[in-house]
Amino acid sequence: MAGLQVGWIGLGSMGIGMSRNLQKYLSTSAAPPLIFTNRTLSRGDSLKELGAIPVSSVAEVAKKSDIIFSCVSNDAVLQQTANEIIKSGDINGKIYVDCSTVHPETSVAVSKVIAQAGAEFVAAPVFGAAPMAEAGKLIFVTAGPEAATEKISPYLTGVMGKSVIAMGTDHSKSSLLKIAGNICVVSFMEVISEAHVFAEKTGLGTEILETMLGTMFGPVIESYSKRLTTGIYAPAVGDKAGFDVSLAIKDAKHALNCAQSVGTKLEVSEVALKHMETAKSLVDEGRQLDSSSMYGAIRTDAGLDFYTDLCKKRDGKI
């Protein structure tokens, strides 16, 4: 493994943390430094400081790398990235690993064109938000050829993630499991948001509700609650969201599409999607919102301000 060249494509809120951890690992294992690219290359300045090497294009990453990782924003970008990799030249024997959340049909389609070009594709979406990516605590869900998944395993557990859920060779299965997880997460956020608005409107209070959530349901549910009570759901102007609501909307639509295709319903996801879309419509264009911003829409429906007092104080509004 020491002589293999690894490349990285995509430095969004997840990709930057993942790639930094990967470069740290490579620098301590006698391996060549990570090669990376991004639409805005300066986004990788902190990665470059760790010893990684920036290049100007996806094609250059593909030409120089034996194993290529990507983490991109949506299905169209993944398909474009795959096409650029294929057009880069001879990719026979290379492994392409994508960590994005996309529709299962997209994973299958990309796997086919990559295989036709002589390379192997591993679908490896991840569970966890940006702080978990930064901490190297993500959960990978992998699907692809057995030899390829084995070859990339040293870069996953203990490097970018804390564990791997292996889904075999059917590329659609990893995307389906990731979507199922997203159904749970968006549903949790919807219900917790409703409970917080209920607590505020009835006079129960959000602080005691959050204490109950943590005590009864544990740290994960408590962390979702804190996205609301600490103002993460609506970052300050100029700040980035932990997980952008536009990406959460895309993921929810994938879930609803998959459910419809097999004749079932996701009614909580439908409500959550409506509230996320409403939240986007209620703030100034260009302002970042987190995936938990349905809280603001639910507050507004109940006659409360979109922003909590904590948010308004933080933003100098009170």
Question: Is 1 within the bounds of a domain?
Answer: no
User: Where is the domain boundary, 150, 169, 188?
Assistant: 169
Question: Which phi-psi region, left, alpha or beta, contains residue 52 (left: φ > 0; alpha: ψ -120 to 50)?
Answer: beta
Q: Two tokens at 46?
A: 């902190």
Query: Residue 221: in which H helix or E strand, if any?
Result: helix 219-229
- Mean residue pLDDT of the chain comes to 96
Residue 121's pLDDT is 98
* Mean pLDDT value of segment 90-104: 97
* Mean pLDDT value of segment 151-166: 98
Question: Is 94 within the bounds of a domain?
Answer: yes
User: Where is the domain boundary, 108, 136, 169?
Assistant: 169
Whether the pLDDT of residue 265 is over 90: the answer is yes
pLDDT tens for each residue of 194-226: 999 999 999 999 999 999 999 999 999 999 999
Whether the pLDDT of residue 28 is over 60: the answer is yes
Whether the pLDDT of residue 1 is over 60: the answer is no
The radius of gyration of the chain's CA atoms, rounded to the nearest angstrom, is: 20
In which domain, by residue range, is 216 found? 176-314
Do 101 and 210 lie in one domain? The reply is no
* Mean pLDDT value of segment 104-126: 98
Whether the pLDDT of residue 2 is over 80: the answer is no
The CA distance from 73 to 79, in Å, is 11
